[in-house]
Copies of this chain bind each other. A is one copy, B any other.
Amino acid sequence: MNATPRWLTSEQKAAWDSFIRMQEKLIGKLTRRLQDDSGMSASEYIVLAKLTETEDGRMRFMDLAKLVEWEKSRMSHQVRRMAKRGLVAKEECPDDGRGAFIVATPAGHRAIEDAAPMHVEHVRRLFTDALTPEELAVLARISDRVLAHMERQPD
């Protein structure tokens, strides 16, 4: 212990800084846009998106949480807030006394249908339009490599 730390090379640091800066600005702009255009947070958007992609706009609480890779407590808080806003509703589950279904309400369906086209347009405008198809493919490959690499690491 107490070995002199191995810092990043200047190329590595530059790459890291660019990546972090880009990602922060991009996500920031998108969430602000979503909020301004549709009065919806990114979390609300993704919950509604996943729910309404199903057959009947309904999903078991834990299935939903696993699908978006959230902790159950995060999902619980989120669902409570969205239920208060009338975007989703909780229904009890006949098969499992503990369980709950989360359902997108009509207002929820309307909200995501209104929001989605604009959101996609912003993703296009800010992100995909910046890159050639080849660059986009390279970025996808790199992202998958990092993801795969992380899977192999502890934690």
Report A75 CB to chain B, min CB distance, Å. Answer: 15
Please state if A131 and B142 are interface contacts (CB–CB under 8 Å): yes
Each complex incorporates copies of this chain amounting to 2
A92 is an interface residue with CB less than 8 A from chain B: no
Complex Cα gap A131–B129 (Å) = 25
- State the main secondary structure of chain A at its contact with B: helix
Please state if B33 and A155 are interface contacts (CB–CB under 8 Å): yes
Q: Which of B24, B129, B143 contacts A21 (CB 8 A)?
A: B143
> For residues 28 through 57 of chain A, which have their beta carbon under 8 Å from a beta carbon of chain B?
29, 32-33
Q: List 21 A-B contacts (CB under 8 A).
A: A5-B120, A8-B124, A11-B133, A11-B137, A11-B140, A12-B124, A12-B136, A16-B128, A18-B144, A19-B139, A22-B144, A22-B146, A22-B147, A23-B143, A24-B69, A25-B69, A26-B146, A33-B155, A126-B150, A130-B149, A139-B142
